[in-house]
């Protein structure tokens, strides 16, 4: 899974594009569940979405700092839903967060060298 946005000190985003920067096929939009009591703290994983609070599909972001301004109700009354946390590999996240980026077309902070997640797992 390609990470297509690295905003130093703020977040790392991925899930929406393939290795050729083409939009990935997604499933239906999901209901925003940001009112779940979880906060956009460092190393938490949240759903990315558009202006419509219920527009999330496949994109997600990893918070690199306290982004509690994105918590429910947030600036738009909806917030950004945290659904996970990085529990191993923090040093890798730190290295990714320092990636050199460029603005390229619709991509505002595209890593110069492609960064791809090869493996991730769910830990219950």
Q: Residue 45 falls within a domain, yes or no?
A: yes
- Is the pLDDT at 14 greater than 90? The verdict is yes
Q: Residue 124 falls within a domain, yes or no?
A: no
Please report the pLDDT score of residue 37 as a whole number.
97
Four-point Cα dihedral 15, 20, 22, 27, nearest 10: -40
What is the pairing mode between strands 2-7 and 44-47? unpaired
Total number of domains constituting the chain: 1
Q: Residue 117 falls within a domain, yes or no?
A: no
Boundaries of domain holding 61: 2-18+30-111
Q: Residue 81 falls within a domain, yes or no?
A: yes
Q: Residue 58 falls within a domain, yes or no?
A: yes
Q: Residue 105 falls within a domain, yes or no?
A: yes
Please report the pLDDT score of residue 123 as a whole number.
80
Q: What is the pLDDT of residues 103-121, one digit of tens each?
A: 999 999 999 999 999 888 8
When pLDDT is averaged across residues 49-70 and rounded to a whole number, the result is 97
Q: Residue 85 falls within a domain, yes or no?
A: yes
Please report the pLDDT score of residue 21 as a whole number.
96
Question: What confidence tier does 6 reach under pLDDT thresholds 50, 70, 90?
Answer: very high
Please report the pLDDT score of residue 43 as a whole number.
98
pTM of the predicted protein model: 0.94
- Is the pLDDT at 124 greater than 80? The verdict is no
Please report the pLDDT score of residue 121 as a whole number.
82
* CATH value at residue 61: 2.40.100.10
Q: Residue 13 falls within a domain, yes or no?
A: yes
């Amino acid at each position: 899974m390609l990470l297509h946005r690295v905003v130093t000190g703020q977040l790392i985003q991925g899930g929406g594009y393939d290795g050729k920067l083409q939009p990935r096929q997604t499933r239906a939009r999901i209901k925003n569940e940001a009112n779940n009591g979880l906060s956009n703290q460092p190393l938490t994983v949240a759903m990315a979405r558009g202006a419509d609070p219920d527009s999330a599909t496949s994109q997600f972001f990893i918070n690199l700092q306290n982004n509690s301004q994105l918590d429910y109700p947030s600036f738009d009354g909806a917030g950004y839903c945290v659904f996970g946390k990085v529990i191993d590999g923090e040093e890798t996240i730190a290295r990714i967060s320092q990636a050199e980026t460029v603005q390229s077309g619709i991509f505002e902070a595209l890593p110069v060298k492609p960064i791809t997640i090869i493996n991730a797992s769910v830990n219950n």
